[in-house]
Structure 1
Amino acid sequence: MGEPTEIRTAGIEHAEAASGAGSVDGAVPSVPTPDGASRAARTRSAALRLRIHEQRRNPSRPRVFFELALIGLSYWIYSLVRNAVPEQEAVAQKHASWIWHFEQHLGIAVEHSINHAVNSVTWLIVGMNYYYATLHFIITIGVLVWLYRSHPGRYAAARSVLFVTTGIALIGFYFFPLAPPRLMDGGGFIDTVKVHQTWGSMASGAGAHVSNQYAAMPSMHIGWSMWCGLAIFFLARPLWVRLLGLLYPLTTLMVIVSTANHFWMDAVCGEICLAVGFLAARLIYHQWAYRLPRTPHEPAPDEPVTVPAQWTAPVGASRR
């Protein structure tokens, strides 16, 4: 004998309600998952994670006013911290003596000979003085602008490399004050800016009164110039421009040694800071800075954020 019609209908309606098919608006009910979160919350968090993941792999186009404000604020902090560090002359002189003796032990202490040899060629050393005082900022800003305009998809990662590198350098300035060769007691180095009375250097003359004289380790002239050189080498198209990119940090190395503003070891530590900056950007963006897409993909305003299909499937379907 069959079941009464009313009983059969009620059973069907009960089963449909349990599977979600009987809801009025067709929405998937919020059913707790084993970890206690609702399916709706799980879906929203998944969409957020996917959006963040996509943003890290494919950074959005930078905004000019935000970047200008960020660079201005960062440079202000850089200058403030660098120049506010107490000028511990005794400690800085002791550190300079350590570095100089260490280089002599390694057989690479040639800064004194280079400094005196180049200083004997007036036009060359004067040019190097102006190079040291100006190109450090001009070329770095120029490369940032070029990346912003021509490689917007890679700009954020490359800028992050520069910021991390500089942040590490500030730690070095604070905890390891170092007298540059030109100020080292008994070193016999020539302060080429003072001797040839060239303008523009914060290391000598009037600028010395507003700049920390013992923020020499690591060398950001090398860190920034290598950052510029690698960006040009990997991203520029003409071969001669790419070669100039490689030549720039090498020339900068010769300049900082010839003008007695840095030891070799300052340059080595600057390169180490830059390497850490690249590794940090690699962790953030899941790619090396120059391997990211040249132009970022920007989704349309109504483009949906997709999530795995099984996360949005009806509960009953996932159990069949």
Structure 2
Amino acid sequence: MNARTEPAETEPDSIARPSLVREFLLVAGLFLVYKFGRQLATGHTGEAFHNAHRVWDLERTLRLPDEGAVQSALLHGDALVRLANTYYATVHFPATLAFLAWLYLRRPAHYLWARRVLAAVTTAALVLPFTFPLAPPRMLAATGLVDTARVYGPSVYGPPSSDHLSNQFAAMPSLHFGWALMVAVGLIAATRSRARWLWLLHPLITLLVIVGTANHFWLDAIVAAAMLGLALAVIRRPHRPRRCTGTAGRGTRRFVPKEQVLVGAGR
């Protein structure tokens, strides 16, 4: 008797895996652009604080939830707020790198798509601080929010005047949230597991963390999601992997393209 096996997943198209060296340089370049590109938009401190007041007032006009409610939940215990600060400081880059590495090894077609989307969103996000510099809510006294990283630790930022590794007045859009949302979207698109929707917990937790630690306004995340949505609409997504069907010999299964199944059914 033929051994019964679970159907496996296979890429929809025969996509050659791109050169590892070339992709390493491209992805490294993407991260360097993200890390240092915002330095080109440093300065404009007064305008950044003015825009922060405008964003805060607009959120109240739109009746968005108060960021303080999320922070109050975090401040119920020192361990929880430190965990949120650690998540903000340590998960962002490693999670995105792991996502790209897994796609590169297991889903080359989806890897190329995800890399292009991330590159497009990151490039667009670097342009916005030139036209709309924005101070984070932790710097705005009117919000009444605590700079949790400075008070409880760990912190990834120094005083804005001496922090030469990041532009703290480029809060909009939140690439923390934009990249986290793309990780979830990419893994949902590239897999077939019924549990794949749980990947949405990553952007959800990221959203609560960036707001609760007073590093971003709600609108920073909303703008990032809109930019990602536009990139996803423009950049064509590959088909989700299909499960193998049919048999080829004893104990083995082979992939039958959908077109062949339809042709065979019409005979």
Give the TM interval when normalised to the shorter protein: 0.7 to 0.9
Read off the aligned partner of 1:114 and give its amino acid letter.
V
1:43-98 deviation per Cα after TM superposition (whole angstroms, max 9, x unaligned): xxxxxxxxxxxxxx975421100000111122222322212312211101111111
The number of residues matched between the two structures is 231
Q: Does the residue aligned with 1:186 lie in a helix, a strand or coil?
A: helix
1:229-240 to 2 correspondences below 5 Å: 229-240=184-195
Structure 1: 5+ residue runs without aligned partners? 1-56, 283-287, 295-320
Q: Does 1:222 align with 2:209?
A: no
1:204-239 deviation per Cα after TM superposition (whole angstroms, max 9, x unaligned): 699844321111100101110000011122223443
- 1:114 is displaced (CA, Å) by 2.0
1:128-166 deviation per Cα after TM superposition (whole angstroms, max 9, x unaligned): 100001111011000000000000122111210110011
Check 1:117–1:213 CA distance in 2 against 1; reply closer, same or farther (3 A cut).
same
1:23-45 deviation per Cα after TM superposition (whole angstroms, max 9, x unaligned): xxxxxxxxxxxxxxxxxxxxxxx
CA distance in 1, matches of 2:187, 2:98: 11
CA distance in 2, matches of 1:280, 1:96: 30
Q: Does the residue aligned with 1:215 lie in a helix, a strand or coil?
A: coil
Q: Does 1:75 align with 2:24?
A: no
Q: Does 1:190 align with 2:107?
A: no
Residue in structure 2 matching 1:92, options 36, 48, 52: 48
CA distance in 1, matches of 2:124, 2:51: 19
CA distance in 2, matches of 1:59, 1:280: 20
Check 1:161–1:203 CA distance in 2 against 1; reply closer, same or farther (3 A cut).
farther
Read off the aligned partner of 2:208 and give its amino acid letter.
M
Q: Does 1:121 align with 2:102?
A: no
Check 1:59–1:82 CA distance in 2 against 1; reply closer, same or farther (3 A cut).
farther
Check 1:226–1:203 CA distance in 2 against 1; reply closer, same or farther (3 A cut).
farther
Check 1:217–1:85 CA distance in 2 against 1; reply closer, same or farther (3 A cut).
same
Partner of residue 96, structure 2: 140
The answer to which structure, 1 or 2, has the higher relative contact order (CA under 8 A, 6+ apart) is 2
RMSD across aligned positions (CA): 2.3
Partner of residue 22, structure 2: 66
Read off the aligned partner of 2:150 and give its amino acid letter.
K
1:263-311 deviation per Cα after TM superposition (whole angstroms, max 9, x unaligned): 11000000011112212312xxxxx2454899xxxxxxxxxxxxxxxxx
CA distance in 2, matches of 1:145, 1:246: 19
TM-score by length of 1: 0.67
CA distance in 2, matches of 1:109, 1:88: 28
Q: Sequence identity, in percent?
A: 35
Residue in structure 2 matching 1:256, options 193, 206, 210: 210
